[in-house]
Amino acid sequence: MMLGPARRLVIGEILAVHIRDSLVDAERLYIDHQRYRPVGRLTGGGYCTTTDTFKLERETFAAWQARQTGEDHTA
């Protein structure tokens, strides 16, 4: 990725989220993403929605590290 006057990379940390109480499972403190339907800001006047969801299994650090060194730690 090339950065310059026409391109910027912004990295941030989410400090708070405002959401209706009816969308939060009070016992588990999970957001019902099926009903939430968030809107994201893109560039200029562009916005997006998230209607398609999928799960992606996370690799453990040990497995990633083993892959980088060519070692097999799957056993």
**Residue 1 within a domain:** no
**Residue 32 within a domain:** yes
The neighbour count for residue 14, using CB atoms within 10 Å, is: 5
The number of domains in the chain is 1
**pLDDT, tens digit, 9 for 90 and up, residues 46-72:** 999 877 778 889 899 999 899 888 866
**pLDDT, tens digit, 9 for 90 and up, residues 13-32:** 989 878 888 999 889 988 88
**Residue 2 within a domain:** no
Q: Which of 60, 58, 38 is nearest to 49 (CA)?
A: 38
**Residue 16 within a domain:** no
In sign, the C-alpha dihedral spanning 31, 32, 36, 39 is positive
Q: Which of 7, 8, 37 is nearest to 22 (CA)?
A: 37
Domain that holds residue 57: 21-69
How far apart are alpha carbons 7 and 48 in whole angstroms? 20
**Residue 6 within a domain:** no
In DSSP terms, which residues pair with 48 in a beta bridge? Answer: 40
